[in-house]
A and B are shown apart, each in its own frame.
Chain A
């Protein structure tokens, strides 16, 4: 049957099982939007294309399915870049479809023309400019396959407006084969045997679990391995929830703001078993000082990750779930009681902690998150922006389940939290979805409140409000002689120091997030005292409409422990006091 390019696009999306599409129409994707009008796909009209990418991303992280977003040419396409780069760094499957100016005006500096595929090339796993309607169906099939297989990632399809209108005989390509692309799924049996041998011989093993565990759905296998061989588990930021937080073998997070016990275990272990982690500099600290005495096993689906920054003894390329299933068969039951007791001692020396100062009646951000965790039993889907609040969320909201902690780990994209929460809530309407955000991060994408209201998406935003770019301030305080250059987000922000800091009690906060919530028809509440926290959280969780909790904290609040950038994990600053 003959179909237009736009009809083919919509039909291919439906056949891929797409139920939600995030985006904004514009000049050259109108044929596509016109066909969406008749489709059963629910279109979520966002207020900015960046919001659309993060929503698709949040949907993808929460469900494991491919998130789909769309934009028009030029500014629409360039607005996708941050979201695609975010997904690319964290290996999140997204398909982004953009309209392009007419084929015969490509390169003529036409209205709203940008070299969209040129722009997205370095921030996607792959991209396509479709110059012939005959290959469109094939391209869409390939795009979904590439996005979700192997090491997942975003794929961009650019479709000129005349191709959307052009007609061709439509044949759905049932099978796809890309001759130059076949990810390794099964691990090499000999390598798995070698890994098993190292595990058998080890006295102080440590599982270093990363986001790949979540992506591969390998949580049950990691758990089996940990339990059978009695190996403690440390997670990266990306793997919060890979093991239930109350599992006896779960140690907590690693890295720059990770636990003392976890980082110390990393330094003292004799065998590190890396599962879908990529030795990010925020985890390793100074490479030459990183886990100096351990043998290293590295499970990764991406061969390029192996040996990239840290030399390993036994690399195994393959899908983590598949590989671990085989590995577990190869290892005996073991007992590492002495080693685990040692780690527990470290934990008792320096657990995550904060002081609720009697005189200082400012609300502690850690307390707010701790109470949220208690009330929601660690079972809510939590998203974050980037900065101090993100680290507090990692420390104080350890999750029970995988795919419940959505955060921009690799790129560190401020503004990720709120739209990704909307995407996750649309995927799981019956779940509590809470965005723990900072006032700086939230302001980057808060225009999506209109989307949340219009689509009746009830998410809770907890704005940890210190009227500063808090993590920037923390670095300026610790490493730049308390010269707060352009980090204060209220009053005139240019130059602040300890001496001329505004008094937080007399401050006019801009914006007023409660009035902001009110302006959109959301529920806004301000929290300035400890005793207001629990009632406000309870009210927020019961609310039917979106909620903003504006939690006023003291700007001197810092994230500890901390490994300064460029230092080794041994040089952890436990606290300033």
Chain B
């Protein structure tokens, strides 16, 4: 279990009805009950009637128990999985615009290479770097890029999937 700011961090995936207003239902549940949400990613699944949300939430065991029970109470939530005790993959994608003139580029390229990131746009004094990975990797890259000057950043939020044969499907 990863610790951050003292409280355990959980990655929860939920399958929900692909219906109008479901995202608002889930989001407003978190604000109404005072749960802290770190990130929320939502997209379609292999079944067009079902969407999958991945929520990263911090809290102690008791808070998490309530988060999961309250989510399960929502009529549109079909299935829920907390990955805390399941071997799983987590991926976040970030686009990071960094200040960089000609002199910086070679050093940047090295860093990008080490992190297996990509430079996807270049201009006279900036580059955009695309990186995919778990939260630790992206945070590490951000720390490395900070000295160049990060001008803008956009992240998708984490998506997750269990390793091996275990699936979260209907």
Contacts and interface: CB of A to CB of B under 8 A. Distances in A.
Contacts of B16: 180
A179 B78 contact: yes
A109 to B, nearest CB: 19
Contact of B75 (A117, A125, A304): A125
A493 interface: no
Contact of A121 (B25, B66, B72): B25
Interface string B9-23: 000000011001100
Given A117-B21, A121-B25, A126 B62 contact: no
Contacts of B62: 307
B78 A122 contact: no
Interface string B108-147: 0000000000000000000000000000000000000000
Contacts of A179: 78, 170
B40 to A, nearest CB: 17
A156 to B, nearest CB: 12
A122 B24 contact: no
Interface string B65-108: 11001101101111000000000000000000000000000000
Nearest to B68: A304
A326 interface: no
Q: Which residue, of A122, A125, A304, has the highest number of chain B Cβ atoms within 10 A? A: A304
Contact of A303 (B28, B69, B170): B69
Contacts of B65: 307
B32 A304 contact: no
Interface in B41-71: 62, 65-66, 69-70
Interface string A504-530: 000000000000000000000000000
Contacts of A308: 66
Contacts of B72: 303-304
A304 B69 contact: yes
Contacts of A121: 21, 24-25, 28
Given A117-B21, A129-B21, A180-B78, A122 B73 contact: no
A3 B16 CA distance: 32
Interface in A102-136: 117-118, 121-122, 125-126, 129, 131
B28 A122 contact: yes
A117 B24 CA distance: 10
Nearest to B61: A307
A176 interface: no
B1 to A, nearest CB: 20
Given A117-B21, A131-B20, A122 B32 contact: yes
Contact of B24 (A118, A131, A178, A181): A118
Interface string A301-331: 0111001100000000000000000000000
Contacts of A45: none
A178 B75 contact: yes
A126 B65 CA distance: 21
Contacts of A303: 69, 72
A221 B21 CA distance: 41
Given A118-B24, A121-B24, A121-B25, A146 B75 contact: yes
Interface residues of B, number: 20
Q: Which size bracket describes the interface of A in this complex?
A: 10 to 19
B21 A180 contact: no
Contacts of A180: 16-17, 75-78
A304 B66 contact: yes
Nearest to B32: A122
Nearest to B75: A126
A144 to B, nearest CB: 13
A302 B21 CA distance: 24
A307 B68 CA distance: 13
A490 B62 CA distance: 48
Contacts of B170: 179
Nearest to A306: B69
A181 B73 CA distance: 8
Contacts of B32: 122
Contact of B20 (A122, A129, A304): A129
Nearest to B31: A122
Contacts of A118: 24
B59 to A, nearest CB: 14
A177 to B, nearest CB: 13
Nearest to A183: B73
Nearest to A155: B75
Contacts of B24: 118, 121
Q: Which residue, of B24, B70, B73, has the highest number of chain A Cβ atoms within 10 A? A: B73
Nearest to A127: B21
Contacts of B78: 179-180
Interface in A26-40: none
Nearest to A131: B20
A308 B25 CA distance: 21
A302 B17 contact: no
A121 B31 CA distance: 13
A8 to B, nearest CB: 20
B55 to A, nearest CB: 17
A122 B32 CA distance: 8
A48 to B, nearest CB: 26
B137 to A, nearest CB: 35
A499 B75 CA distance: 56
Nearest to B25: A121
B116 to A, nearest CB: 39
16 contacts: A117-B21, A118-B24, A121-B25, A122-B28, A129-B21, A131-B20, A178-B75, A180-B16, A180-B17, A180-B75, A303-B72, A304-B69, A304-B70, A304-B73, A307-B62, A308-B66
A-B CB proximity, top 8 nearest: A304-B69, A180-B78, A126-B75, A181-B75, A122-B32, A303-B69, A304-B70, A304-B73
Interface of A: 117-118, 121-122, 125-126, 129, 131, 146, 178-181, 302-304, 307-308
Given A129-B21, A304-B69, 5 more contacts: A118-B24, A179-B170, A180-B16, A303-B69, A304-B72
